[in-house]
A and B are shown apart, each in its own frame.
Chain A
Amino acid sequence: MRWGKVRAVMVFELLSTVKSKSWLILTFGMPVFLLLYGIVVAIPGLVVASRARRTATHGVVDDARVLGSDELTPPAAELPPELRSALERTGRGGLFERSLSRAGVVKLRRFESREAATQALTRGEIASVLRLPPDYLATGVVERFSLDKPGVGGSDVRRVLAGALAERLIRGRLPPDLAVRVRTPIASTRDFVVTGSGAVRPSGALSRIARLLVPLLFAMLLLFSVLMTGGALVQATGIEKENKVAEVLLSSAAADEILMGKLLGAGTAGLLQITVWFSFAGASGSALAAQLASLGVAVPWGAIAVAFLFFPAAYLFFGSLMLGTGALGGNAKEANQLGMLWALLVVTPFPFVEALLSEPGGTLARVLTWLPFAAPITVVLRTAADPGAIAWWEIAGSFLVLVASTWLAVTLAARLFRVGLLLSGARPSLRALLRQARLG
């Protein structure tokens, strides 16, 4: 392969893609659209939140005589220790308190009788009335009185009243340490995972999420790239056929050089697009990973490294097959339909995600590792789920198989591509295609 030719095709593909209106609109319009969409979606939430931030006073009528006579103050909200320490490590210890100060406040006001309370309700002095009937201790039923207006809510005041009731009910009846546990039976969860090799290591919930997200993000990115970039390429090749430039191209560069140049050019444009999106979001992959690491989350660096290794080869593998078969289409539409058949293979491991995560060292996982069309997602998934469940030689071997398959795919696709580019009119039979491809 002559890389000078590949570069010439790549530069043309890249420039013509990034200068096209559709690319510019999608690249720069998408973040703006998402921003506008976010604002539109957030408006109702913001309105509700601003209402919730107002101090709401509710009346309490204690006919059960369980609340005593002291002030009814709601219990302070608490943050799980794991998250509190993570925030303190990043110097954001005050974040929780600051956000609490912005949250809404619920006040409870005592009334001697239901009548007095409901009169205050009709005057608009309070938002609702909660009555503890005399048989409350036996039934646990609380009566709630509110104005006849549509609306939802009431969970905040129920939580505040429940806290106040629990506090009064256990006061003096239980030893202090037991009282603390009754108030908060589960203060926090400390997670551990047992690897396939039997080792036990701590694992927080965030780490678990991160380990699941990395392979899923990789899979989505791969699928997205293949579908979008490959689709655009296949369509461009269809247009190329319609424009009748195939012979000039093939007289200047070999089919595999054109194919590789197109793949690299479109791939670079796709990568550029994703980078622009990440830049707009202000959260590129590395920044996000650094943030997670600073929060004490075990970022699956191994899986990320494997993803970076497998991604380009996987893109070239699927892209070349799509381009090769897409070139056989008589026009842009037909080319797209033919090319998209390969995209279905990208998602092969998806139905097995649960099995792969629960048994990353199982037979299914081992088999899928060696199949080139399933290997990229499978290997990343296995490495993320449990690095101990996949041997280094499996990763290396799988990568070599993928590279060899990519080379084969590019070679085969180049022949189909050449035959396809020269075709006009009716599509040839499979036999005729194979003969042409064999002759080269």
Chain B
Amino acid sequence: MPQAVAFEGVEKRFGDVVALRGVSFDVQQGEVFGLLGPNGAGKTTLMRILMDILRADSGGVTLLGAPHRRQTLDRVGYLPEERGLYTKQPVLEVMTYFGSLKGLSRAEARRRGRVWLERIGLAETAAWRVERLSKGMSQKVQIAAALLHDPELCVLDEPSSGLDPVNVRLVDELIRERRAAGRTTILSTHQMSQVESLCDRVALIHHGRLMVYGGVNEVRERYSRPEVRVRAAGALPAVPGVEEVRPDGEAAWRLLLAERSRAADVLAALVSAGVRVEGFERVLTPMEDVFVRVVQEAGS
């Protein structure tokens, strides 16, 4: 799959503070990519470099298959963490302005603005001054403004923060629609459940260094113990290859596998022993645990 973005050894310092230390990874076209890391890890700096707001001290960025150029940014949408709207302006006027900055004609930007306001359920606010909007409404308008020009790549920094569950679901839906349409999304979030449900791959940055990079399940697997969850009626007999058996709710157990034993062999042994297996699945470490473990290990 072609690359939407490729960072190659990106370094950035602010005086004595090193923000990024040779970060390299790529984002493939059409995927939802999670950019993770604790506060102050360097995510915002990396996103600002991608958006040409900051320049890297060294290293390079390839954007949508070409060396980074200003013109290419018209095909990119951006929802920064530090965000806002012109409070004294009408909602539709602000959307029109942001659309026209991305190369749309004012008429087209206005038309799309109306369509998007309808899409996010705020059609009636078109003529309102931004200051009349609630925080959540304002956030939805900002997301819509970032997606107004249907960008091939969109960088969303904490798009769901401060939104109620209904609107979080709306944002998730918008991101999924983009993936279905072959559009790329870079999602920076601290909501690990959102990462698990939305992202195809992730990169975790800490202290300006790339700590973890890969597919979501692949990363979770990498940080998981060899453990399976079994649902079955009755008690479980002792089978080869299992070191420890722990109950995990009603009629369910967690089995910690011995080194070099395979899950398929354990399942076969259970069935051979006459156990009526109703469910058998690999237990993967939640992304939240991966995040905490990586950060804590780096700290120690």
Please report A residues at the B interface, Cβ cutoff 8 Å. Answer: 2, 4-5, 8-9, 11-12, 15-16, 20, 240, 243-254, 418, 422, 424, 432, 435, 439-440
Contact = CB atoms under 8 A, between A and B. Distances in A.
B80 A247 contact: yes
B82 interface: yes
Interface residues of B, number: 33
Interface of chain B, main secondary structure: loop
23 contacts: A2-B71, A5-B101, A8-B106, A11-B106, A12-B100, A15-B93, A240-B86, A244-B82, A245-B83, A245-B84, A246-B82, A247-B53, A248-B78, A248-B83, A250-B52, A251-B51, A251-B53, A252-B74, A252-B98, A253-B101, A418-B53, A424-B82, A435-B15
A4 B105 CA distance: 10
Nearest to B78: A251
Given A243-B84, A440-B55, A8 B78 contact: no
B87 A247 contact: no
A418 B51 CA distance: 13
Contacts of B145: 248
A247 B82 contact: yes
Contact of B101 (A247, A252, A422): A252
B288 to A, nearest CB: 28
Contact of A12 (B85, B87, B97, B103): B97
B178 to A, nearest CB: 18
Given A4-B103, A439-B55, A16 B86 contact: yes
A252 B85 CA distance: 15
Contact of B85 (A2, A245, A435): A245
Contacts of B52: 250-251, 254
Contact of B15 (A20, A422, A432): A432
Interface of B: 15, 48, 51-55, 57, 70-71, 73-74, 76, 78, 80, 82-89, 93, 97-98, 100-103, 106, 145-146
B53 A250 contact: yes
Given A247-B78, A440-B55, A11 B48 contact: no
A350 to B, nearest CB: 36
A262 B57 CA distance: 30
Contacts of B57: 439
Given A8-B101, A11-B100, A245 B86 contact: yes
Contacts of A240: 86
A243 B86 contact: yes
Contact of B48 (A247, A424, A432): A247
Contacts of B51: 247, 250-251
B82 A252 contact: no
Contacts of B98: 248, 252
Given A12-B97, A247-B80, A440-B55, A252 B86 contact: no
B73 A252 contact: yes
A248 B141 CA distance: 13
Contacts of A254: 52, 70
A12 B101 CA distance: 10
Contacts of B87: 243
Nearest to A252: B101
A432 B13 CA distance: 12
Contacts of B76: 251
B53 A244 contact: no
List the 5 shortest-distance A-B pairs measured between CB atoms, nearest first.
A244-B84, A252-B101, A247-B80, A251-B51, A8-B100
A5 B73 CA distance: 12
Contacts of B93: 15-16
A253 B87 CA distance: 21
A418 B146 CA distance: 20
B101 A9 contact: yes
Contacts of B48: 247
B265 to A, nearest CB: 53
Given A11-B100, A243-B84, A254-B52, 13 more contacts: A2-B70, A2-B71, A15-B93, A245-B83, A247-B83, A251-B52, A251-B80, A252-B73, A252-B101, A252-B102, A418-B53, A422-B54, A432-B15
